[in-house]
Amino acid sequence: MPELRVDIDAIGRNTEAVAGMLRGRGLDLVAVTKGCLGEPRVAAAMMAGGAIAIADTRNQNLQRLRAALPGVELHRIHLPSISGPFEPGDITYVSSMEGALAVAACAAASATRRVMVQMETGDRREGVPPEGLVDLAQAIVDEARLQLVGVSTNYACFMGRPEGVMESVECVVGAAARLREAGLPVDRVSGGNSSLLWLLAQDQGLPDGVTELRCGEALLLGQDALFYRPLPACRTDACVLRAEVLEEYTKPAGGATRRYILGVGRQDLGCGAVRFVQPGLYELGRSADYLVAEAEAGCVEAPVGEEIEMIPSYEALVAAWTSPYVEVSLLGG
């Protein structure tokens, strides 16, 4: 069975590095745990590393986090379900009044639920359009069971291009200013995700007004989510996937080429990319159950039965962590 080895201490150190980078610019870190199924030990390491809150998207993850870390502020960054029950966070992100009212319905008698308005700023995914923001925020303020705490956006997760990332942040900061001009409370402005960290690593500043970022990929994999480059003082090997060589052979292909059939495939990784730890290996392709790797000349041979290590991309990491066919081993913590 393939094994995903997770170094919790390395994730904690990555969190310290990212939190320090943000803290130096007056920003808070909200750590995202959806990539690790809301694993409480990982979340605890992120909090110890300097995160102020934990964010997740799934009901089961939020429930296990609440049970394991009762004093931690939880953010639900998945839009509320209108058709059925869902687990709200201490702060829930909404993009419509229907969703906001679904959150309000979760409030106990004479209690309020805190919400962040999610705004669309160019990714073309979730979020209220800019022209509808003020009306939605006002309707939330007028609902006694809700408390508006701020505005947020997400970018570079769906269709947002790298060149538009700064415009996205400027858009949400400008929107927060408009809400304040309308007399609406905006204490927190969540400017985006790990895609912004490469800009900060290059000493590019963010517009004044952003109070926090939500980061998961940077903490788990030590890289930004815009160009996928290693971040300063971060480890990129906190999560390592090991798969067994089930077959190796040499086959003519314009020359003698050594290939390996590994016991991991799309059922375990989806279409997420992987990077081999061993230099000289690269992926030819994968099917449901196998990954075919080819070795360049001079690459150290890996006999049948030996395990080959790979660094997963964020997409591959999420798929592997959720696959019933991959053993997840938590180390340290």
298-333 pLDDT, tens digit per residue, is: 888 899 999 999 999 999 999 999 999 999 999 997
The pLDDT of 4-33, averaged and rounded, is 98
Per the DSSP assignment, residues forming a β-bridge with 76 are 56, 92
Alpha carbon 305 to its chain centroid, in Å, reads 33
Give the pLDDT confidence score for residue 249 in this predicted structure: 84
* CA-to-CA dists, residue 49 to 15, 73, 283, angstroms: 5, 15, 35
Is the pLDDT at 14 greater than 90? The verdict is yes
Please indicate whether residue 166 or residue 108 has the higher confidence score (pLDDT). Answer: 166
Average pLDDT, the chain: 94
| pLDDT above 70: percentage of residues in the chain | 97
State the DSSP H helix or E strand holding residue 50, giving kind and residue range, or none if neither. none
Give the pLDDT confidence score for residue 184 in this predicted structure: 97
Locate CATH 3.20.20.10 in the chain.
8-221
* CA-to-CA dists, residue 248 to 191, 232, 241, angstroms: 48, 38, 19
Q: Quick: pLDDT tens for 81-115.
A: 999 899 999 999 999 999 999 999 998 766 899 99
Give the pLDDT confidence score for residue 256 in this predicted structure: 66
The pLDDT of 153-182, averaged and rounded, is 93
Whole-number Å distance between alpha carbons of 275 and 281: 9
Give the pLDDT confidence score for residue 333 in this predicted structure: 78
For the domain covering 8-221, report its CATH number: 3.20.20.10
Locate CATH 2.40.37.20 in the chain.
239-331
Which of 51, 17, 35, 72 lies closest to 212, judged by CA? 51
150: phi then psi, degrees, rounded to nearest 5: 170, -165
Is the pLDDT at 16 greater than 90? The verdict is yes
* CA-to-CA dists, residue 215 to 50, 191, 227, angstroms: 12, 11, 15
pTM here is 0.95
Q: Quick: pLDDT tens for 61-90.
A: 999 999 999 999 999 999 999 998 999 999
Q: Quick: pLDDT tens for 228-255.
A: 999 999 999 999 999 999 999 876 655 6
Per the DSSP assignment, residues forming a β-bridge with 248 are 260
The burial class, CB within 10 Å (0-12 / 13-18 / 19+), for 163 is exposed
Is the pLDDT at 24 greater than 90? The verdict is yes
Give the pLDDT confidence score for residue 159 in this predicted structure: 87
- Which string of b and e fits 265-283 if b means at least 16 CB within 10 Å? beebbbebebebeeeebee
Q: How confident is the model at residue 215 (pLDDT cuts 50, 70, 90)?
A: very high
Q: Quick: pLDDT tens for 29-64.
A: 999 999 999 999 999 999 999 999 999 999 999 999
Rg of the chain in Å (alpha carbons): 22
Is the pLDDT at 284 greater than 80? The verdict is yes
Give the pLDDT confidence score for residue 160 in this predicted structure: 83
| pLDDT above 90: percentage of residues in the chain | 87
The dihedral through the CA atoms of 85, 42, 188, 225 has a sign that is negative
Is the pLDDT at 203 greater than 70? The verdict is yes
Per the DSSP assignment, residues forming a β-bridge with 113 are 146
Q: Which fold has domain 239-331?
A: Lyase, Ornithine Decarboxylase; Chain A, domain 1 (2.40.37)
Could you identify the residue written with the tokens 């923001």?
A: 133
Q: In terms of residues, how long is the chain?
A: 333
